[in-house]
Structure 1
Amino acid sequence: MSIKYFTLHQLGWRPGYSHHLTLQDFEAGYPARVVGVHRSGLSVLSARGASTVSLLHGSATGVEPAVTVGDWLLIEMDAPRVLRVLERYSLIVRIAAGSEHRMQAIAANLDTLFVVTSCNDDFNLSRLERYLAVAFEAGVEPVIVLTKADLCADVGAYLDAVRSIAPTIGFMAIDATSATASGLLAPWLADGQTVAFVGSSGVGKSTLANTLVGDSTQATGGIREDDARGRHTTTAREMFVLPGGAWVIDTPGMRELRVGAIEAGMGAVFDDIETLAAQCRFHDCRHDGDRGCAVESAIAGGQLDGRRLVNYRKLQREAANAVRTTRERREQDRHYGLLNRTAQRLQREKKGRDY
């Protein structure tokens, strides 16, 4: 992305942000948007231009999850330091890899999440439902994009499958290398809008981003013919502007999206199951051999795909486990904090007695 000056509107500023800032805030700092997160600091753009700023360790700017691409910050007027993080109107998060079960921010203040899959062996309805639940939970409009349509003999079958799980949201099949892709996605790429791409490695996220921006901004990799999966090609989360003025966050490929608390998102994606569940004979029906189960009756009658119930249960378990482990981690942190404060107090008392 060439360095240039942008107005706040062009950067995606919303009038609602000003409601969270006081006159003193504007006297002390100015708003800027995070376009890159690096070990050395945060790359930001503002009406002043491009700069690199740092978060003050232990300051009030600390948020959970941590600052990510797309965030709006208040930057100190006379120093490259962050005063605070402005309230997010949307945030895509996942459970980070590892055993700590910490929430990891992927992209902030999004208008649209393009869920990218391809018309080949990568296509997986259960994975799409997972992404959709995360998008709905975050309050972001999801749009399903099927790539490699030019290499598929029966695109209609893939479109019908998507329609079966998401009849009310936008979806389309495209050739990510064709200029026509820009026209198909244009309704979501207006000036100042912010979008992100999520999906498995090799489905064409970076290729599509290149087509939209008109150059090879993102590195692309090939596909392994044996399993249609691709190599990871995007290694950092960065935000760049398209010729039409929209902003794109291209995230690293994710084989697995571990979900957190997504109750609202689950309700939006699996509304058919939850509607049926309300008709079960018992309010605590487990949909597993219970008498009078409307959900199992619908599966037996062909009105509901049994795969959806299996995935619904799986995501429910993951979400419940994420909530539980987060609560346990917070309690553990509180306990360790108490022990640490007690140890410091005893040490101070001991030093006092020594004197």
Structure 2
Amino acid sequence: MVRPLDSDLDASLIELGWTPFFSSQLSPDDRASLCPVRVMAVRRGKIAVSGLIAGAVSERLIPPYVAQAQGEDSHATVGDWLLIDEASSQIARILRRASLFTRRTPGNQRKVQLIAANVDTLFIVASCDQDFNLARLERYLVMTREAGVTPVVVLTKADRADDPEVFAHAARALHSDLQVITVNGKDLTSAGRLAAWCGQGKTVALMGSSGVGKSTLIKTLTGSERIITQAVREGDGKGRHTTTVREMHRLDQGGWLMDTPGMRELHLSEAGEGLKEVFDDILLLAQQCRFSNCRHDVEPDCNVRTAIAAGGLDKARFLRWRKLTLEECASATARSTQSRTSQKRGQSSGR
């Protein structure tokens, strides 16, 4: 028999990121018979978990899925909180997530890939060089806002740029309240500017393209020599994939730093609310168009086109918003089709 939790917030679990949000999901039976653990790393065919197992904090490797369950929620991802059976190591349940990052699988817009769960702050990592890309930053911002997570843009390789503030200014222009930090990822004092988001029990994740310096930054923040870094290809500034697993690293401040593989393609799975928040300036302008269904092409009295002509709205930003909006419409159609197909299969199996 596994001992029940001594309190709603056992001290050893708090260090792993346990909060009342997760504690409130436990029934008396859960507390008496199951072990709460957190997914610390996702590897091929196994996940590494850490938590209260047999009454003490320990780690083990277990299968990544809930037995006899179907759907996306039957698979665990890095950052998840689970309830497991001590004897079998089988996942009994994945606790409801405070936040979840997903993306559409490249080449299969109907399949969703889980990226990370229960993140408090996302460090969107870009570099002060030719790889800097506003459209890519906006995609990450939309995904972050959709997940209800605080975004912080971290611009690496500031020591190599003639004027890193040029890149910072361009990033800050994406949204009025966006935090943008420039760092030299190899320098502890410089990277230490990120400590404010890394307090005890807090989880921060890093996402960005390959070669922007995520692994170097993690190595500096954690002091870990296990983090492999590779040189960026000369000429085009594109990096090689260094990170191959999703993994959480302990920080001196008591928080956790989550690394994810670089993503050259980020296909958003659901982005409706995120688009509204990141592009709220365009939506406000659109409210003043004569027609509520204005497409901002040739319609008369289009306030958006007027703003572009007057220099109040950057046309490139408008075009990026339009592209993401069309993608979201296509994704919504795919989700609707998939839902109807699942319902039909359920009805057929129930006959």
After TM superposition, give the deviation of residue 335 of structure 1 in Å: 3.8
Q: 1:234 to 1:227 in 2, by over 3 A?
A: same
* CA distance, structure 2, for counterparts of residue 56 and residue 284 of structure 1: 44
* CA distance, structure 1, for counterparts of residue 75 and residue 87 of structure 2: 24
Corresponding residue for 1:153? 162
* CA distance, structure 2, for counterparts of residue 158 and residue 100 of structure 1: 32
Farther off after superposition, 105-114 or 167-176: 167-176
Contact 1:181/1:212 (CA < 8 Å) preserved in 2? no
* CA distance, structure 2, for counterparts of residue 142 and residue 21 of structure 1: 30
**Matched residue type, 1:46:** G
Identical amino acids, percent of aligned pairs: 43
- Residue 25 of structure 2 is aligned to residue 20 of structure 1: yes
Corresponding residue for 2:3? none
After TM superposition, give the deviation of residue 57 of structure 1 in Å: 5.7
Q: Which has the larger radius of gyration?
A: 1
**1:112 pairs with 121, 129, 132, which one?**
121
Q: Secondary structure at the match of 2:108?
A: coil
* TM-score (normalised: structure 2): 0.91
* CA distance, structure 2, for counterparts of residue 64 and residue 310 of structure 1: 35
1:90-239 counterparts in 2 under 5 A?
A: 90-99=99-108, 101-239=110-248
Contact 2:65/2:76 (CA < 8 Å) preserved in 1? no
Q: 1:32 to 1:61 in 2, by over 3 A?
A: farther
Corresponding residue for 2:6? none
Q: Secondary structure at the match of 1:240?
A: strand
Corresponding residue for 1:242? 251
Contact 1:32/1:75 (CA < 8 Å) preserved in 2? yes
**Matched residue type, 2:183:** I
* CA distance, structure 1, for counterparts of residue 198 and residue 274 of structure 2: 24
* CA distance, structure 2, for counterparts of residue 270 and residue 214 of structure 1: 38
Contact 1:55/1:61 (CA < 8 Å) preserved in 2? no
**2:311 pairs with 302, 308, 315, which one?**
302
Report Cα offsets for 1:142-181 as digits up to 9, x if no partner: 0001111100002121111112112312111110111113
* CA distance, structure 2, for counterparts of residue 133 and residue 65 of structure 1: 25
- Residue 41 of structure 2 is aligned to residue 30 of structure 1: no
* CA distance, structure 1, for counterparts of residue 129 and residue 81 of structure 2: 38
Contact 1:260/1:318 (CA < 8 Å) preserved in 2? no
* CA distance, structure 2, for counterparts of residue 253 and residue 263 of structure 1: 24
* CA distance, structure 2, for counterparts of residue 327 and residue 65 of structure 1: 20
How many residue pairs align between the two structures? 337
- Residue 16 of structure 2 is aligned to residue 7 of structure 1: no
Q: Secondary structure at the match of 1:159?
A: helix
Cα RMSD for the two superposed structures: 1.8
Q: Secondary structure at the match of 2:326?
A: helix
**2:333 pairs with 320, 324, 338, which one?**
324
* CA distance, structure 2, for counterparts of residue 54 and residue 201 of structure 1: 28
* TM-score (normalised: structure 1): 0.90
* CA distance, structure 1, for counterparts of residue 109 and residue 294 of structure 2: 32
After TM superposition, give the deviation of residue 340 of structure 1 in Å: 6.2
Contact 1:66/1:104 (CA < 8 Å) preserved in 2? no
Report Cα offsets for 1:205-261 as digits up to 9, x if no partner: 111000000122321111112111111100111112112221111100001110122
After TM superposition, give the deviation of residue 63 of structure 1 in Å: 4.2
* CA distance, structure 1, for counterparts of residue 70 and residue 59 of structure 2: 20
- Residue 254 of structure 2 is aligned to residue 254 of structure 1: no
